[in-house]
Amino acid sequence: MPAMVTDGSSKRNAILDGAIAEFLAQGYAAASMDRIASGAGVSKATVYSHFASKDRLFMAIMERLVLSKFADILEPPQFAARLHEPPERLLRHVAMTMLQVPIQDREYLGLIRTVIAESGRFPELAQTFLKEITAVALNSLADYFRHCPHLQVADPEATARIFVGAIAHYLITQYLLSGAEIIPLEESRLVDSLILMITSQKN
């Protein structure tokens, strides 16, 4: 039995730690708030005092595992400040951040597996992920393509989807579907090709 925690911030972090382990092991539907409370060393009432529902708790996990790691490529102000940055440098930073975070954090990959696996029964989970993460990233990138003085992109929205989609497909096939030996491809080849495709549209 874990030791009881008393500090408010420590309790919240302990709950999130316990919830991550529970969701990754059991999935969303089978996750038990009782087991999360037990794993965190708090009462079930304490869990609900911090997170009003299971979906709120799952969203908080999403924020910890995803939003905090991708803040500098998800938030529009970051892209606005980088408007005049050379596309080669910015796009490589975005691509490598998207590629390296999942490799360095196995819990992130587990979260993505959970969202995909539960999307049929709980479409709101997948929709929340798309709204809070994917849509924000696509909008920020499309806005950069639209206003960057170094580029002349014919369709900023479609180009943003191609860029993000190619990287997402790589992560899914190489890591979620364990396809690294079946359809191998070096990250650098993918990133270099994407950057070349986009920067060739210069004025």
- Every domain of the chain and the residues it spans: 8-58, 69-199
Q: Alpha helices of the chain — where are they, by DSSP H?
A: 8-30, 33-40, 44-50, 54-62, 71-74, 76-81, 87-104, 106-118, 123-129, 135-147, 156-171, 187-199
Closest CA to 141 of 90, 190, 99, 192: 90
- At residue 133, the pLDDT reads 85
Exposed, middle or buried, 169 (CB in 10 Å: 0-12/13-18/19+)?
exposed
* Nearest-angstrom CA–CA distance, 72 and 96: 13
Burial 34-59 (b: 16+ CB within 10 A, else e): ebbbbbbbbeeebbbebbeebeebbb
In tens digits, what is the pLDDT along the chain, a chain of 203 residues? 444 455 567 899 999 999 999 999 999 999 999 999 999 999 999 999 999 999 899 989 988 888 777 777 766 666 667 778 889 999 999 999 899 887 788 888 888 899 999 999 999 989 988 988 889 889 989 989 998 888 999 999 999 999 999 999 999 999 999 999 999 999 999 999 999 999 987 55
CATH 3.40.50.300 assigned to domain 8-58? The reply is no
- Give phi and psi for 128, each to the nearest 5: -65, -45
Indicate the DSSP class of residue 3. Answer: P
State how far the Cα of 187 lies from the Cα of 103, in Å rounded to an integer.
12
The predicted pLDDT at position 84 comes to 81
H-type alpha helices, 121-155: 123-129, 135-147
pLDDT at site 67: 74
